[in-house]
Amino acid sequence: MHHGSQPRIPERDVQSCPRLDAVYNKMPVTYRPQGQKLEVAEAVRLPLSCLQLAFSLLCLTLKLTTAGLNGITRQTQRVLGTLVLGVACDVQRVLILGTRNAGKTALLYRIKLGEFIYTVTTNSFIEEECVLCCQCLIPTDICAHKDLAGVDTVKLHLCEVGIQDDNEVIEEHLRYASKILFVLDASDITTGITALNDIASIVAQHNFFHQSPKYAIFNNKTDVVASHRSYTLEDVHLPEHLKDRATWIDGSALTGRGVIESLRFLLLEEPQWSPKISARKAEDLIQLN
């Protein structure tokens, strides 16, 4: 041991001896290289923790902001949809409901395109728009009156509910559409009475949303040989004050039979025209055809 030099104490002794610990705590950092490394590591770890916390808070803020904006956007769309489709008189909104595989989508595109196309099962809500000639009630691009001046047209907004849509979606669109086109499968004998009861329930609910609702029950696939006996409007058991606002039509989306009749009742005819039609109005209907 040299005089004047400070004795070197092993690290294990420093860690196990409280007195030497106290001595080393008073010494400069330059004499504690290992302790200095620990302080640097702690100094680096602290900003990293702060950055991780700040990043987590930023992600949470972005998620909450996105959810809030999505909610505001949906509410705005609903309000605008109500104003545009509910107030504007030149747009007729028709909601298409019915049993599964009854031909709702085929009927929708029969109205929009004027022809039959093969479709698949609709899973989610779909919307289509078209412009019909008021004289023949077919799309204006294939109408024979498209070159004639002064022919009135009607803009139609067709909506169909998919099989995966819940009751909240149906109720939401019941508020917007004052006209409903129910589609039944005439070849399915298992859903007859159940479907009629569902129609009566929906009509009772829909009646509270609109002052002048219209209902057309389209009994589809009547061109099929194996179709069961045809029901009538009396089998639906509608309230007495709504019977003149509903009609039953045996038709086919494949052949187009009954489609124009359904549209005429929903879009043009007044409730008092059914079931009793005066001779003058009957002549007008013939000329309208």
For 236, the 3-state DSSP assignment is helix
Question: Is residue 243 marked as binding?
Answer: no
- What pLDDT sits at residue 99? 86
Give 208's contacts (C-beta < 8 A, 6+ positions apart).
none
- What pLDDT sits at residue 282? 40
pLDDT at 281 over 50: no
pLDDT at 51 over 70: yes
**pLDDT, tens digit, for every residue of 107-136?**
999 999 999 988 888 777 888 999 998 888
Taking phi first (over 0 means left), then psi (-120 to 50 degrees means alpha), and beta for anything else, what does residue 4 get?
left
Residue with the larger pLDDT of the pair 98 and 193: 98
Question: Is residue 73 marked as binding?
Answer: no
Question: Is residue 255 marked as binding?
Answer: no
For 203, the 3-state DSSP assignment is helix
Question: Is residue 105 marked as binding?
Answer: yes
Question: Is residue 221 marked as binding?
Answer: yes
Q: Read off the pTM.
A: 0.60
* N-term to C-term CA, the chain: 123
Question: Is residue 223 marked as binding?
Answer: yes
Buried b (16+ CB within 10 A) or exposed e, 162-191: eeebeeeebeebbebbbbbbbbbbbbbeeb
Question: Is residue 220 marked as binding?
Answer: yes
Host H or E run for residue 194:
helix 192-206
Question: Is residue 65 marked as binding?
Answer: no
Mean pLDDT is lowest, of 164-178, 220-234, 236-250, for: 220-234
pLDDT at 283 over 60: no
